[in-house]
Homo-oligomer: A and B are copies of this chain.
């Protein structure tokens, strides 16, 4: 390892890097994000670290507790439900629009995305697979040519990753790739209504695969102390 810094980080790129780390579960919910610690890690001052943490808190990926610091967010059961209800409002219609606007280049890109996900899965890199799985949804919004909705979905996807980390029921491999394949078929046929229906079902399946029965979440602060 070189003594010199290889990259000059900006506030935005640090935000993106942290978001990806959270999305990939390299930074699990509850992890303390110390300002000095991060500043040293990226070779920047606390000023820029704080800007990044502020940005992440606005996306509900990080919780800022006054005079206590920043922590990777731990969505409550309530919040988990709300996130998926919001996704249910936004994504099916967006999938419909995407199907109707889909170009061959878009199709190829989505295919590549799914292929990469399988590669990551086979390599045992579940974090990367989860990230790519989320990217699939964001790409659909991009293809629908709705950048405003895309931004909302992008946030909801990242928050969903935290929810999965906390409430995912099975430890087995992600079985949702089937749903994505089915969506691909609808996209290939430019079948908007089918894509809408498939996305709706997909989201319902996702919620069903979560354990959202608990009214309280005991693992929250305890886990944090034990795992670190």
Contact = CB atoms under 8 A, between A and B. Distances in A.
A67 interface: no
Interface stretch (A51-59, A108-116, A167-175): A51-59
A147 interface: yes
A144 to B, nearest CB: 10
B54 A86 contact: no
Interface string A126-169: 00000000000000000000111100100010000000000000
Contacts of A220: none
A63 to B, nearest CB: 15
Interface residues of A, number: 21
Contacts of A94: 89
Contact of A93 (B89, B146, B156): B89
A93 to B, nearest CB: 6
Interface string A55-98: 10011000000000000000000010011011001100110000
Contacts of A50: 51
Query: 9 smallest A-B Cβ distances: which pairs?
Result: A82-B148, A58-B58, A86-B148, A86-B149, A89-B90, A152-B152, A89-B93, A89-B89, A82-B146
